[in-house]
């Protein structure tokens, strides 16, 4: 006869079934007469009652249908957003501690996603960022048809993120060095590059040339925006040409690749920088690991497309923790800016 975990627990559960109702402990977890924790109802019975005899299957069914909660002394639960789980070490983290460490796990160093504005504020000198080209937004020239119309998707992304497009650009300084800075926000349609994103990136390079600034871009993207078809792919050439014009002016360009960076963005301006940094654990490539495996019909090695692997193979200059990025970028600008960035 095959015994499941349910059968093995039957004897223990039967003893509990025929005792008095559980007595609540201080934490709101109910315990039986022998100290066994059995339920957490968050409520206290007014009078102990006898549980009637019932089939064990019915008892399990009743148990599964109950809502298990831990009550507090005041009867109120914790508000949403107070705790988060780290996918790196599986620890439960207090959100305030995570925020103070720039959204990096204090236990294992896992880097959580940051929104574009927070990335810029963490990177530039305090109070120096001024947004530019905020009025450039995508249209729907191809009238892209899908389950959700492209125009509606754009409206939803703008409402959810508070951004007009998937990249935020502006003027700032880093370590006292003037820069044109930009950060891509993956919440906005996967930070995909359409006509507006390509235009804003190109204009950031043009601004740097006109005002003799360096360029610092924090890059995260799923690639070209398919809803704009060939118009999206044209942005690869536009942004690459803009990076080349900056190089001819002997002005520095620093790219910071964060998780994830893929597709046409990786194949264009993201990897054309003088110095390429990446955050720990970031995945960078053209096609994702699963697509590569399906194409070559072979498994990829462990760590494939990770920032650490790309550094080992010479495609990234250094993997830098988020908390050290500002100083590292400032140091690079100090070496590469004409006249030290003065």
pLDDT 10s digits, 282-304: 999 999 888 999 999 999 888 89
Q: Tell me, yes or no, whether 277 and 304 share the same domain.
A: yes
Residue 140 inside a domain? The answer is yes
Residue 72 inside a domain? The answer is no
Structural domain count, the chain: 3
Instruction: Quote the percentage of the chain above a pLDDT of 90.
Output: 62
What was the pLDDT predicted at 340? 58
List the domain range (segments joined by +) for residue 9: 5-65
Across 207-219, average pLDDT: 98
The CATH number that applies at residue 274 is 3.90.226.10
- For residue 257, the cross-strand partners are 219, 278
Q: Tell me, yes or no, whether 133 and 102 share the same domain.
A: no
Calculated CA dihedral for residues 190, 191, 197, 202, nearest 10 degrees: -140
Q: Using the predicted structure, report yes or no on whether residue 215 has a pLDDT greater than 60.
A: yes
Q: Tell me, yes or no, whether 17 and 153 share the same domain.
A: no
Q: Tell me, yes or no, whether 34 and 164 share the same domain.
A: no
Q: Tell me, yes or no, whether 331 and 201 share the same domain.
A: yes
pLDDT tens figures, 190-202: 999 999 999 999 9
Residue 124 inside a domain? The answer is yes
Identify the band that residue 79 occupies on the pLDDT scale cut at 50, 70 and 90: low
Identify the band that residue 56 occupies on the pLDDT scale cut at 50, 70 and 90: low
Identify the band that residue 27 occupies on the pLDDT scale cut at 50, 70 and 90: very low
Q: Cβ contacts of residue 139 below 8 Å, gap of 6+? A: 195
Residue 92 inside a domain? The answer is yes
- Least confident range of 88-97, 204-213, 299-308: 88-97
Residue 130 inside a domain? The answer is yes
Residue 305 inside a domain? The answer is yes
Q: Tell me, yes or no, whether 104 and 118 share the same domain.
A: no
Q: Tell me, yes or no, whether 233 and 86 share the same domain.
A: no
Q: Tell me, yes or no, whether 307 and 222 share the same domain.
A: yes
**Averaged confidence pLDDT in the chain:** 82
Q: Tell me, yes or no, whether 260 and 152 share the same domain.
A: yes
Q: Tell me, yes or no, whether 164 and 18 share the same domain.
A: no
Residue 73 inside a domain? The answer is no
- Least confident range of 7-21, 27-41, 67-81, 282-296: 27-41
What was the pLDDT predicted at 68? 41
Residue 267 inside a domain? The answer is yes
Q: Tell me, yes or no, whether 90 and 178 share the same domain.
A: no
Q: Tell me, yes or no, whether 137 and 165 share the same domain.
A: yes
Q: Using the predicted structure, report yes or no on whether residue 336 has a pLDDT greater than 90.
A: yes
Evaluate if pTM is beyond 0.85: no
What was the pLDDT predicted at 93? 87
């Amino acid at each position: 006869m095959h015994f499941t975990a349910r059968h093995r627990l039957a004897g223990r559960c039967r003893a509990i079934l025929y005792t008095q109702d559980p007595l609540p402990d201080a934490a709101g977890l109910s315990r039986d007469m022998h100290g066994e924790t059995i339920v957490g109802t968050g409520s206290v019975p007014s009078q102990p009652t006898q549980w009637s005899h019932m089939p064990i299957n019915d008892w399990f069914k009743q148990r599964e249908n109950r809502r298990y909660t831990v009550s507090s002394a005041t009867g109120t639960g914790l508000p949403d957003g107070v705790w988060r789980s780290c996918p790196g070490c599986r620890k439960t983290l207090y959100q305030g501690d995570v925020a103070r460490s720039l959204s990096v796990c204090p236990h294992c160093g896992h880097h959580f996603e940051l929104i574009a504005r927070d990335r810029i504020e963490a990177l530039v000198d305090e109070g120096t960022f001024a947004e530019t080209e905020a009025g450039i937004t995508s249209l729907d020239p191809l009238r892209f048809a899908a389950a959700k119309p492209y125009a509606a998707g754009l409206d939803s992304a703008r409402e959810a993120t508070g951004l007009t497009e998937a990249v935020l650009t502006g003027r700032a300084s880093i370590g006292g060095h003037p820069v044109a800075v930009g950060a891509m926000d993956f919440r906005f349609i996967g930070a995909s590059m359409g006509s507006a994103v390509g235009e804003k990136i190109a204009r950031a390079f043009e601004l740097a040339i006109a005002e003799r600034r360096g360029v610092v871009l924090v890059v995260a993207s799923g690639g070209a925006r398919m809803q704009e078809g060939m118009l999206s792919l044209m942005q690869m050439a536009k942004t690459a040409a803009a990076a080349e014009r900056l190089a001819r002016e002997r002005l520095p360009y620093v790219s910071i690749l964060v998780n994830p960076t893929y597709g046409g963005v990786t194949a264009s301006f993201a990897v054309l920088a003088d110095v390429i940094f990446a955050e720990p654990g970031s995945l960078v490539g053209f096609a994702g690991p699963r697509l590569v495996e399906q194409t070559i019909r072979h498994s990829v090695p462990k760590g494939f497309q990770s920032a650490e692997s790309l550094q080992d193979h010479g495609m990234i200059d250094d993997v830098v923790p988020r908390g050290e990025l500002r100083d590292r970028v400032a140091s690079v600008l100090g070496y590469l800016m004409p006249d030290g960035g003065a």
